[in-house]
Structure 1
């Protein structure tokens, strides 16, 4: 089995990564910090519609309902968490290693009047503070790119009840035969960083390696779907949105969009060479 060679970022590094980037995403993209899903080239859906659609596609695959317990591992500021709870009736608990984002998510749940159904907690998704079998399903929207995948999947299997499902999106290299890759900041830093560089904030792993990753965690694979064709419009739309809102962002936060992108995201060439997948597995 092949595992990503990049060293996962620390909690502090990841919180720093999503500090200015999170503010930029909220202003220029959406409160969903993930890919959009468009039905085809003629789909004129907005970013909000497309990102909500991806959340809904994963929510359907959770197969949960009222009374079930769902964990959102890497919940951002909670928009997908709230949407899953509303569409399924399940109790949903989100975890994140950004205390600021947990505060925002908790306030959003209060404002929506669902603070008893939807809760949030500061926690590392690779070392969860929950007993074995605590959840009926687990959702992870691209958050696994920041983790040691084998470790995360084993931990998620631990906290699932028998029959519980893991539903996630992940990013993989599009080049045939390409091995695991690390994603670093753009520009010269990206060129200088090696695969073991501690500055790697995210990593890719091959589509064809997922079956082994899942079985190695004690899970059984139910679905592995390449949705790159539907999500590939994300990066060009995101870049356009960042440039459109750059003056407002810089006025509000006193930092340039270029500085945020150079220090906190992948280079354009790396982004264009990445595909997106949906994976569903269950605990026997």
Structure 2
């Protein structure tokens, strides 16, 4: 199940321009990671950058990465997550994105961190990857599948490049209430989303692509539900950001994100799904049972 806006898919070049326009300021505000945040409650005084890193750790921990493994970071952003994973787990990371700004920034970040032997960042469309079958031990899609022109095609492509037994973890927005659809439509238009699946919809799509879902978590109240905390944290740094990018750029950045904040906190969820590409020699009894967390 999914909430859809229109029937026209946004092309890859437009998605690239979308992130080229928004990522420079987002990169500064969010310390190199342009994904969402995670606050436990309104009294949680964790700084914005750490709240964002906290969510990144929560998502990537589910991959169970081991030294020497090869990870595909599908929609890698400005590279901070890839650097973190290479340093923390000793894995090789291939990151792909359609944003030229993100490629250049990620490569600079990788070089500055001294992990160029482990991390490679390339221009790449995750709907048509240039890699052979079974190239990767794990795939991470951290808030990147939301922009897929055809989600089912992308999930099948990620399944193809994973080795049998390899793991997929995705995290993304989910539809939790279809009330007041105009609010949801503004949100989707702002983020260039063609559709917004429910939690069950995400699980169904992952399974349809051939994966076995092993765990899923719905943590929307601590993510989108804390959007007011993000607004306060961002406003506290407005003068600093304006001094770097200019008042006009900050105003345009703010206007471009107005629709993101349109939904009520309970309308938009945030789901983390961990799945595995089943081995051909694995019987149904050997497939791990799924765990659910809320």
Band the TM-score falls in, shorter-chain normalisation: 0.7 to 0.9
Query: C-alpha root-mean-square deviation of aligned residues, in Å?
Result: 2.7
Partner of 2:167: 165
Partner of 1:260: 253
**Aligned equivalents of 1:12, 1:264: Cα separation in 2:** 20
Partner of 1:240: 232
Call closer, same or farther: CA 1:140–1:39 in 2, change over 3 Å.
same
Call closer, same or farther: CA 1:265–1:124 in 2, change over 3 Å.
farther
2:216 maps to 1:224: yes
Partner of 1:280: 274
Partner of 1:269: 262
Q: Does structure 1 conserve the Cα–Cα contact (< 8 Å) formed by 2:73 and 2:82? A: yes
Partner of 1:193: none
SS, match of residue 281 in structure 1: strand
Q: Structure 1 residues 143-152 or 74-83, which shifts more?
A: 143-152
Q: Structure 1 residues 250-259 or 228-237, which shifts more?
A: 250-259
Aligned residues: 272
**Aligned equivalents of 1:135, 1:178: Cα separation in 2:** 41
Shift of 1:255: 2.6
Shift of 1:46: 1.4
Partner of 1:194: none
**Aligned equivalents of 1:264, 1:8: Cα separation in 2:** 20
Where does 1:131-146 land on structure 2 (aligned, <5 Å)? Answer: 131-146=132-147
Q: Does structure 1 conserve the Cα–Cα contact (< 8 Å) formed by 2:78 and 2:105? A: yes
Shift of 1:250: 4.4
SS, match of residue 255 in structure 1: helix
2:74 maps to 1:82: no
**Aligned equivalents of 1:128, 1:5: Cα separation in 2:** 27
Q: Does structure 2 conserve the Cα–Cα contact (< 8 Å) formed by 1:59 and 1:88? A: no
Shift of 1:54: 1.5
TM-score scaled by structure 1?
A: 0.85
Partner of 1:214: 206
Q: Which runs of 5+ in 1 are unaligned?
A: 191-198
**Aligned equivalents of 1:264, 1:13: Cα separation in 2:** 17
Q: Structure 1 residues 84-93 or 233-242, which shifts more?
A: 233-242
TM-score scaled by structure 2?
A: 0.82
2:67 maps to 1:66: yes
Q: Does structure 2 conserve the Cα–Cα contact (< 8 Å) formed by 1:134 and 1:159? A: yes
Partner of 2:158: 156
Shift of 1:271: 6.7
**Aligned equivalents of 2:2, 2:221: Cα separation in 1:** 25
**Aligned equivalents of 1:54, 1:275: Cα separation in 2:** 14
Q: Structure 1 residues 61-70 or 254-263, which shifts more?
A: 254-263
Where does 1:74-113 land on structure 2 (aligned, <5 Å)? Answer: 74-113=75-114
Q: Does structure 1 conserve the Cα–Cα contact (< 8 Å) formed by 2:48 and 2:233? A: no
SS, match of residue 67 in structure 1: coil
Q: Does structure 1 conserve the Cα–Cα contact (< 8 Å) formed by 2:134 and 2:161? A: yes
